Amino acid sequence: MSGFVEKPEPLQVPGLTHLHTGKVRDLYQNADGELIMVASDRISVYDWVLPTEIPDKGRVLTQLSLWWFDQLADLVPNHVLSTELPPGAPADWAGRTLVCTSLDMAPVECVARGYLTGSGLAEYRESRTVCGLALPEGLVDGSELPAPIFTPATKAAVGDHDENVSYEEVARQVGAETAARLRRATLDIYARARDIARGRGILLADTKFEFGFKDGELVLADEVLTPDSSRFWPADLWEPGRAQPSFDKQFVRDHLTSPASGWDRHGELPPPGLPQDVVDATRAKYIEAYERLPPAGAFSLSGRRGSNSRPQPWQGCALPTELRPHAPCESGGRFRPPPRGAGTTIANEWGASTGRGLFAERTTRLELATSTLARLRSTN
């Protein structure tokens, strides 16, 4: 069994038609035929969408995607038109909503791998291949590959699992020319992102992209290079031959597979809710990724995102709540990016426009994350 433990009811917003509820995102359409993509705080593991949310996760995913779209705009256009909230949208949609152009989507997940782990490692151990691509002997969990590889996968419905397929199968489905375009764009984007991340002390192990077509032009869609769609590893902790620490939902996986959760992954019952310490540790890792990747001041007030977006002012407070005061935005819907510190403490000084001064909460994220992970693994 798999799917939603508790499937949410879609919000009814005047002027918008609800199209789909995904694992993380809710999709609407406006009267102009544009898509409204709203990133929720839902989290999914082992093909289940859990009943517990991770606060502000959707905002982190959205803001990271916007920043990455900017970094990749010269390589491929993206689907973002605006970050403006639709009229009548709830305030909670601020910072997690994208207005996007409608595309004819390619029916494959375009995965790039620079390191061996996950399902690629499992296949390699059996056949010394990944998606039919032969790899050299002697690789272990976390090994850097001789060169990045394109390893596509099927697109699965909620509750189903993506399955790796060969490049030849992709060519059969979409045609040889389109398959070649998808592979080339995927590897070009991965190379750009890998170099940017490495310069910030992070290894991009693998990532997946979704592409669509608009009037024959290849367009990058959905989210891009977030902790949900990518494996990011701290470079200073990389050690091939073991599972790597990562900026993602590993705390959730560890908890659910530990005796503490009381859940049988291979049984018939859905997973339980998450305890608060696991929620806090997971949230901290997402926010740490947000802090470490975009440089200070990366989120401008222009609203322009990508080569095909129209300028719009930011609407609402787009930053996660731990990166702003626990109060509604008082700066007319705009925000001032907080200064970046060491990346592990929640302590941000805000400008005079917020009237808040020093935000005093100083929780050490790295200590919280490390202690929680150690506790979970000690119970296995």
Q: Map tokens 């890998």 to a residue.
A: 194
Q: Map tokens 């949208």 to a residue.
A: 89
Structural domains present in the chain: 104-245 (3.30.470.20)
| DSSP, res 339 | P
Please give the pLDDT value at position 81.
97
The stretches of the chain forming alpha helices (DSSP H) are 57-72, 118-127, 167-174, 176-198, 250-256, 276-292, 365-378
Of 348, 265, 315, nearest to 47 by C-alpha is 265
Burial class (CB in 10 A: 0-12, 13-18, 19+), 154: middle
Of 53, 34, 31, nearest to 101 by C-alpha is 34
Please give the pLDDT value at position 248.
84
**Helix, coil or strand: residue 48:** strand
> What are 148's strand-pairing partners?
none
Contact residues for 165 (Cβ-Cβ < 8 A; gap 6+): 108, 131, 152, 153, 154
- Per-10-residue mean pLDDT, the chain, length 380: 86 96 96 97 94 96 96 97 95 96 96 96 95 96 98 73 88 97 98 97 97 97 96 96 90 92 92 95 92 64 34 34 33 30 28 26 41 49
Whether the Cβ atoms of residue 329 and residue 100 lie closer than 8 Å to each other: no
Question: In Å, what is the CA distance from 271 to each residue of 56, 78, 256, 280, 372?
Answer: 22, 36, 7, 18, 19
178-183: long-range pairs with CB below 8 Å, 24+: 178/106, 181/218, 182/106, 182/108, 182/110, 182/150, 182/152, 182/211, 182/218, 183/110, 183/150
Say what the alpha-carbon torsion angle 42, 59, 289, 225 is, to the nearest 10 degrees: 80
Q: What is the rounded CA–CA span in Å between residue 30 and residue 16?
A: 5
Q: What is the rounded CA–CA span in Å between residue 269 and residue 264?
A: 8
**Cα 293 off chain centre by:** 13
Please give the pLDDT value at position 335.
28
Question: In Å, what is the CA distance from 370 to each residue of 171, 245, 257?
Answer: 44, 10, 18
Query: Any idea what the Cα angle at residue 164 is, between residues 160 and 170, rounded to 5°?
Result: 110
**Cα 362 off chain centre by:** 26
Please give the pLDDT value at position 156.
64
3-state DSSP percent of the chain in helix, strand and coil, to 5: 30, 20, 50
Say what the alpha-carbon torsion angle 44, 50, 55, 57 is, to the nearest 10 degrees: 10
Which of left, alpha, beta for 233 (phi over 0: left; psi -120 to 50: alpha)? beta
Sign of the Cα pseudo-torsion (7, 13, 19, 24, in order): negative
